[in-house]
Amino acid sequence: MQPKVYVTRRIPESGINLLQQSCDVEIWDSDDVVPRDVFLEAVADKDGVLCLLTDKVDAETLDVAKNAKIFANMAVGFDNIDVDECTKRGVMASNTPGVLTDTTADFAFTLLMAAARRIREGHEFVHAGKWETWGPLLLMGQDIHHATLGLIGLGRIGTEMARRGQGFSMRVIYNDVVRREDLEQELGLEYADFDTVLKESDFVSLHVPYMPATHHLISTEQLALMKESAILINTARGAIVDPQALYTALKSGEIWAAGLDVTEPEPIPMDDPLLTLDNCLIAPHIASASFNTRNDMSELAANNILAALSGKRPPTILNPEVLEDS
């Protein structure tokens, strides 16, 4: 009998095709999140699960998923998975790092440029029939070239963001729990403490994972350190920024603009005050959404499952200690 795999959403076909070569695949064939009760029932008899950041893999899930060898997240972030709980039970967990790095950095830089140069406001201005003449004062924004780009987090995506900044002749400074002198040398980056990055940057871009230590890492006090002309970019996780503090800072002009691909909560409720602001550009969590990258993510998640189910090491396993113990 073939191993049973559950896929929690419609995903690019390439990953499904890989799985179907040797597994019995059941798919939640929808673009909506699988309801929790359906998810729990579906995982009960599966050997592997391809899940998304909208699926919670916690003790309750693991209690039900008695046969599961692996939960393979189709995302690099894995704050939806309780990895410690998986490890305790000998269940593998994996994510999709690497394949989405450039695409996500491209999008973070796109948000940065769009917020700085007021693309959304320009588009709306034209569509509202307000464009009557060339205006010397019309929709002035912030310069990108030669500005200071401050990176909070210098992992894979942060590093690629640094390279993009350098393409625009920016000064790039960063803060991370791990100092990367190799990258400082290679890319000409400057390390600075957290507050200095906030104070000196024209653009602050967040590239840290979400965890208890990064919950509302950017709140009232941190926003107050930023320049009045500064722009905050968040393509990491919504809850790294305190949304109420961000609203107040944007509304009062304490910072100049924000570009967000992630919000707290997601989706952002239609009555969220951030939606009333012209200086807050919001995208629906699509930073990795290029055709190629989403194909690659679905294939990597599938390959993690196929490896786990054939006794091999999943290429991007998060808890390899599970393998060492077996």
CA terminus-to-terminus distance, the chain: 23
How many residues lie near ligand GLV (CB under 6 A)? 6
Spatial separation of the C-alpha atoms in residues 188 and 184, rounded to whole Å: 5
- Three-state DSSP at 269 gives coil
- Using CB under 6 A, pick the residue from 75, 91, 112, 170 that binds ligand GLV: 75
Least distance to ligand GLV, CB of residue 170, Å: 24
The smaller minimum CB distance to ligand GLV, of residues 113 and 157, is found at 157
> CA 232 from chain center: how many Å?
15
Least distance to ligand GLV, CB of residue 138, Å: 35
Spatial separation of the C-alpha atoms in residues 235 and 217, rounded to whole Å: 14
**Is residue 207 annotated as part of the catalytic site, yes or no?**
no
237, 254, 264, 299: the catalytic one is: 237
Spatial separation of the C-alpha atoms in residues 1 and 161, rounded to whole Å: 46
**Contact in structure between 61 and 37 (CB atoms under 8 Å):** no
Spatial separation of the C-alpha atoms in residues 326 and 103, rounded to whole Å: 36
Starting at the edge strand found earlier in the chain, the sheet holding 92-94 runs 24-27, 4-7, 48-51, 70-73, 92-94
- Stretch 264-293 residues interacting with ligand GLV (CB under 6 A): 288
The yes or no reply on residue 81 touching ligand GLV (CB under 6 A) is no
Stretch of 71-79, 184-192, 211-219, 250-258 lying at the interface with ligand GLV (CB under 6 A):
71-79
254, 285, 294, 299: the catalytic one is: 285
**Contact in structure between 139 and 121 (CB atoms under 8 Å):** yes
The smaller minimum CB distance to ligand GLV, of residues 40 and 289, is found at 289
**Tokens 């034209």 belong to which residue?**
126
The yes or no reply on residue 108 touching ligand GLV (CB under 6 A) is no
**Is residue 285 annotated as part of the catalytic site, yes or no?**
yes
**Is residue 146 annotated as part of the catalytic site, yes or no?**
no
- Using CB under 6 A, pick the residue from 77, 141, 238, 273 that binds ligand GLV: 77
- Using CB under 6 A, pick the residue from 11, 34, 76, 99 that binds ligand GLV: 76
Active site positions, annotated: 237, 266, 285
Residues at the interface with ligand GLV (CB under 6 A): 53, 75-77, 100, 288
